[in-house]
Chain A
Amino acid sequence: MRHWMGVPEASALTRVVITLAILAVPVLGLGTAGAARAAEESPGRDLITRSEERTESNTEKTTYRMELIGADGAVTQTRRLEVYFKRSEGVKRTLQKFLAPPVVESTGLLVEDTGAPVNDIWLYLPATRRLRRISGVEKSNWYMGTEFAFEDFEGYQIPYHDFTLVGDDECPEGGVCHLVEAVPASAQERGASGYSKKVYWIEAESLYPVRVDYYGEDGHRVKELTSGGLEREGDYWRPRTIEMRNFDNHHATRMVAEERAVDATLDDYYVTKRFLRSD
C-alpha cells in the first residue's frame, strides 16, 4: 500500500530512486571524523574513497524483487520491496518497505546515518502498527530473514576502517578488479561488527564494488556478495542483481532491481518515520 505525495504515481516511479544495498549505494560517507582519517592517504583508502564518490547519489528509489533461497537452492519466498535513499544536510536516510507477500506487506525499516559510528534504526511492523526503535550497536543482526545483516547496509564506513590494496584479480563477470581489504580501525567497530575483515572487489572502469567477501571472527569466509549486470543510470553504475550467499547455512538472498530512479526529485516524506508507519 503505497502513498505518494504531490506527484502522480507513474511519474514518481520514474523520478524517485534508491537502492538498498550495501554495494548498490554505500550509505555511510565521510563525516567530520572521516575527514581526518581520509587525509591519511593509502592506495586502498584512496580507491575506496573514489569508489564511494562514483557510486553515491543524492536520491535514489529502487523497486526490487527479493528471493530468499534455501540450502537446497530452491526459492523459499519471493518478496517485493521499495528502497528509498536521500542525502540531505549531512544525513543519509534509507527507507525500505515491503510490498509483498502478505505476511510482510507494509513492514519497513528506516536507517538514519549522521556520520556517527552507530546509526539510528526504526522498524515498523503492521501487525502491531507500532514503530520500534532498534539499537544500531548490534550491527551483526540479521535482517528480516535475509542473509543481510544490518551492517551490510552501511556501505564502506570509511572513517572507521583501515583499507589496504592487496592486488588485482579477474572480476566475476570479466574485466579487472582491484582488491581492497577493509578491517575495523577502532575497538568499538571491532566489537559491533560481526566481521573481522571484508575484501572489496572494485571493478577498474566503473569503480563499482562488484563483489565483497566477508570474513568472520575466526578468519574464515562467511558470506559473499556479488553484484551482476552493471548498467549505466545517469552518472552512476548500478547492478541489476545483488546476491548475498551465506557459507555457514548455505542460504542466499537475491535481489533483482525492477525499477530504479537515480538523482530524481524525492520528497523528504519518503525517508521519514511518518511514511514508514503509513500502512
Chain B
Amino acid sequence: MDRRTVFAVGLWISLGMVVAPAACAAAALPIDLGGYLENRSAYRIDDGLATSELRTTLQVELERAWGRWTADGVVRARYETKLEPETEEELDLRELVLTHRSRSATVRLGRQQVIWGKTDGLRLLDIVNPLDLRELLLDDYVDLRIPLWMANAEWFFGDQALQVLVIPDLTFDDLAKPGGEFYIAPDLPPAPVPVRVARTVEPASRPSSWEYGARWSGQAGPWELTANALYGWADDPVLFRRLEPGPVVRVEPRIPRRRTLGFSGDAPLGPGILRVEATYTPDAYRDVATLDGLGRPARQKLVSYALGWDWLRSSWLISPQVFQELVVDPSGDLLGEREQSFATLVLQRKLRQDRLTLRLFALHGLDNPETWISPKVSYQWLGRLELSLGADLFDGASDGLLGRFADRDRLVLDLTLRF
C-alpha cells in the first residue's frame, strides 16, 4: 500500500468519524440519515497477490418525509486506485428524488434507479439505467447502475399497476479504459491497414432524443407478470467503419436507438419459485461479413430469454438460471455466433443467526465454454460492521468474454461499516 493510499484510507476513516456524530445530530432532526463507509482491496492471485484495486467509499443517505411527500438523497464520495491507469476521486450526487405518494399513484422525480426484471447475475429487462462496467459485473447491481434524471410515475388499479418513465438524461455505460484491469478491446476484424478511431457520436439532448419507458404489472392466477417497453438508446457504442484513402480504416463509434419489448413473470413451482423473463429488440447490431474483410455492423432482431428457479430450504438458497440470446432471421453473414447461452448458479447458506453468509455464484458459457466463479464468505458484527472475503475466478479461451481475464483471478476483501 503506497503512501497516497494510506493517506486516502486515513482520510475516509476520519470522515467516518465525522459522520458518526453527524448521524447522532441528525437523530434529533426529522431526517433519517444512513449510509456506509467501505474499504475494498483486491489482489491478483496469479501475480504474487499484487494489488489490483483499492477503493474507499463513503455513501451518505438522507431522507426527509412530510405528509405524502418524501425527499431522498444519496451522496457518494469515492477514492479508487489500481483498477484503471488513473486514480479516480469522485464526489457524486448519486440519487436525489422527490416522491409524492397518493392512494392510487406514486410519482418520483429526480436522479434515480429503476429496476425491472427478475433475473440475477445477468440482466435482460434491467435496462433502464446504464452500468459502470469498469469492473465488469463483479460488483452489486445497485452500485453498478448509473442513476438517471427522470420522471417516474406509477398508477395502481387493484392488483395491477402502470408505470411510465420519461428520461431526458442520456448517459451511457462507463467502460474500462485501455490499461484498466478489466479493459475489453473493441472487437474489430483484423485490418491490414492502420485503424483510426473517431470520437463516439452520442445523441443530442432534446425531447425527440429522450428515452421513454412503460411497464404494466399484474397477476394472472399464480403468476405475477410484467410487460415492459423501452424506447431508448443502446448503452454501448456500435463501431461503424469504412476504408478511407491512405488507406486507413476509420472507425466511428455511434450510439444507435434501441427499442425493447419484454415481459417477466414468476409463479410457484414445486417447492420453489419459477422465474421467466424475455426481451425482443429489433435494433441490436451484430457484425456481418463484407467483401473488403472489414465487416460492418448490421441491424438484427434479437430475442433473449431467461429461466430461473429459486429454492429456499432451511438456511439454504439454491437458484439455477439459464440464459439464451438468439439472432432471429440474421441479415447478412454473421461474424460472431448466432446464439449465446449461459447458465448461472447461486448457492447461499446463512448461519449463526444470519451473521455468517456463505455464497457461491457461478456463470458458465454453454456455447463457448468459459466460466466465472465467485465464492464469498461474509460475517457481521454488532449489526453494522461487515467483513467479507471473496474471489473472482475466470477460465476459458483467451478471446472469450470471460476467458480473456483468466490471468486476472483475484481475491477481494471488503470491510463495511454501516450507519
Contact = CB atoms under 8 A, between A and B. Distances in A.
Contact of B383 (A3, A104, A129, A134): A104
Interface stretch (A54-62, A76-84, A156-164, A230-238): A76-84
A141 B115 CA distance: 27
Interface stretch (B75-83, B264-272, B365-373): B264-272
Nearest to B23: A102
A77 B224 contact: no
B106 A102 contact: no
Nearest to B384: A102
B141 A128 contact: yes
Interface residues of B, number: 43
A274 B160 CA distance: 11
Contact of A135 (B141, B271, B419): B271
Interface residues of A, number: 43
B250 interface: no
B312 A251 contact: no
B70 interface: yes
Nearest to B113: A129
A144 interface: yes
B419 A134 contact: no
Contacts of B386: 103
Interface string B86-115: 000000000000000101001000000101
Contacts of B118: 130
Given A1-B32, A136-B268, A137-B270, A144 B354 contact: yes
A73 interface: no
A68 interface: yes
Interface in A126-140: 127-130, 132-138, 140
Which of B156, B353, B382, B386: most chain A CB closer than 10 A?
Answer: B353
Contact of A3 (B65, B115, B418): B65
Contact of A102 (B65, B142, B266, B418): B418
B350 interface: yes
Contacts of B270: 137
Nearest to A140: B314
B146 to A, nearest CB: 15
A247 interface: no
Contact of B355 (A76, A137, A269, A274): A76
Contacts of A264: none
Nearest to B417: A102
Nearest to B33: A1
B63 interface: yes
Nearest to A194: B314
Interface string A152-172: 000000000000000000000
B140 interface: yes
Contacts of A103: 380, 383-384, 386, 418
Contact of A2 (B65, B315, B355): B65
B206 interface: no
A274 to B, nearest CB: 7
B268 A79 contact: no
A176 B168 CA distance: 69
Interface string A211-248: 00000000000000000000000000000000000000
A145 B354 contact: yes
A5 B141 contact: no
Nearest to A141: B312
15 contacts: A1-B32, A3-B101, A5-B68, A77-B383, A102-B418, A127-B140, A129-B142, A130-B115, A134-B273, A138-B312, A140-B314, A141-B313, A141-B314, A269-B101, A279-B72
- Cβ-closest 8 pairs across A and B: A145-B354, A101-B383, A102-B418, A145-B353, A1-B32, A102-B384, A68-B353, A137-B271
Interface of A: 1-6, 8, 68, 70, 76-79, 100-105, 118, 127-130, 132-138, 140-142, 144-146, 251, 267, 269, 274, 278-279
Given A118-B268, A135-B312, 16 more contacts: A1-B65, A3-B65, A8-B67, A77-B353, A102-B34, A103-B380, A103-B383, A129-B115, A135-B268, A135-B271, A135-B272, A146-B353, A251-B353, A267-B103, A274-B156, A279-B72
